[in-house]
Amino acid sequence: MYKAVWARLSALVCRVRAARSDAGMVTSEYAMGIVAAVGFAVLLYQVVTSEVVAAQLQAIVKRALSAGA
């Protein structure tokens, strides 16, 4: 009984260690993630600060403020 429990516990510990050994990202993956995030942020900034979007946002705000009057 003791040997069977010990064998199962050892197998479980080995599986946990094996799964945990490759759980994180390496530096190159972090770098690619940061580059992608910065690219998306720049694209979003360009869209939000464009004149077309600014005009649409102003129209929405004016409509919302005039609806209550």
pTM: 0.47
Phi, psi of 25 (to 5 degrees): -95, 155
Closest by CA position to 45, among listed 58, 54, 32: 54
| Mean pLDDT within 31-59 | 92
Tell whether the model's pLDDT for residue 23 goes beyond 60. Answer: no
| Mean pLDDT within 48-65 | 91
State the pLDDT at residue 19.
66
Separation of alpha carbons 6 and 17, rounded Å: 16
